[in-house]
């Protein structure tokens, strides 16, 4: 029975692709805004840049919460990262590597719960793990010269940003979409109807 639940339908593939493209455009917009935000005085403490990272984790969280099948979080995040890279940003194709790492972080948490739990705690935990894995990657390629306390501070800022923006924010966004009827073919839509029927 569980195998059947994990089987992808055509609408699942289409939704992952559409979400990935839409989120990729949003990622690109955020990367443009990030270039402006990076001039703010908050960057006087460089690790605080992690506060702006949470938005880039939204793809995996939203894709995983909506489609609820193995690989959906990863695919949505990778498509989003690929679209952002194609539109152009400061990091080029390394963005796709980040997308893989971030999507994998969310996927690991959903996998621990066997893709059966999709509440705010699971969404927040998925975003936190994604932020942690991405921080490890960035330590090796972007912040090699930082001291270990700086690296830990960056991880902390990134994790908080991920939990708030991608985890809780992504969960709230999915709930909002479900309320419009746009997700009736998916778990969040069915759950919304069950809640409102009581």
* H-type alpha helices, 88-119: 94-112
pLDDT confidence band for 42 (50 / 70 / 90): low
Q: What is the pLDDT of residues 98-130, one digit of tens each?
A: 999 999 999 999 999 999 999 999 999 999 999
Compute the distance between CA of residue 139 and CA of residue 147 in angstroms, rounded to an integer: 10
pLDDT confidence band for 41 (50 / 70 / 90): low
The predicted structure's pLDDT at residue 171: 98
**Does the pLDDT at position 29 exceed 60?**
yes
Is-contact 80 23, C-beta < 8 A?
A: yes
User: What is the chain's percent helix, strand, coil content, to nearest 5?
Assistant: 80, 0, 20
Task: At 113, list the tokens.
Answer: 């719960």
**Does the pLDDT at position 44 exceed 90?**
no
Task: Calculate mean pLDDT across residues 160-171.
Answer: 97
pLDDT confidence band for 1 (50 / 70 / 90): very low
**Does the pLDDT at position 72 exceed 70?**
yes
Task: Calculate mean pLDDT across residues 180-190.
Answer: 94
pLDDT confidence band for 58 (50 / 70 / 90): very high
The predicted structure's pLDDT at residue 39: 72
- The CB density around residue 169, as the number of other CB atoms within 10 Å, is 21
Task: Calculate mean pLDDT across residues 43-53.
Answer: 87
pLDDT confidence band for 38 (50 / 70 / 90): confident
Mean pLDDT of the chain: 93
Report how far Cα 55 is from the mean position of its chain's Cα atoms: 7
Q: Which of 40-44, 69-73, 160-164 has the lowest mean pLDDT?
A: 40-44
* pTM of the predicted model over 0.85: yes
pLDDT confidence band for 198 (50 / 70 / 90): low
């Amino acid at each position: 029975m569980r195998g059947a639940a994990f089987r992808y339908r055509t609408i699942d593939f289409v939704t992952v692709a559409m979400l990935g493209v839409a989120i990729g455009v949003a990622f690109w917009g955020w990367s443009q805004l990030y270039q402006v935000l990076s001039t703010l005085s908050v960057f006087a403490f460089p690790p605080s840049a992690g506060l702006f990272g949470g938005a880039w984790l939204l793809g995996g969280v939203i894709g995983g919460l909506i489609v609820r099948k193995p690989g959906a979080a990863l695919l949505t995040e990778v498509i989003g990262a690929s679209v952002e890279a194609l539109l152009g940003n400061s990091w080029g194709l390394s963005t796709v590597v980040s997308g893989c790492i971030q999507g994998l972080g969310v996927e690991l948490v959903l996998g621990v719960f066997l893709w059966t739990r999709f509440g705010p705690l699971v969404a927040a935990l998925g975003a936190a793990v994604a932020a942690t894995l991405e921080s490890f990657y960035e330590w090796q390629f972007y912040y090699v010269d930082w001291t270990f306390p700086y690296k830990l501070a960056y991880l902390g800022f990134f994790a908080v940003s991920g939990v708030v923006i991608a985890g809780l924010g992504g969960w709230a966004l999915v709930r909002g979409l479900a309320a419009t009827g746009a997700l009736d073919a998916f778990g969040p839509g069915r759950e919304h109807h069950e809640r409102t029927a009581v």
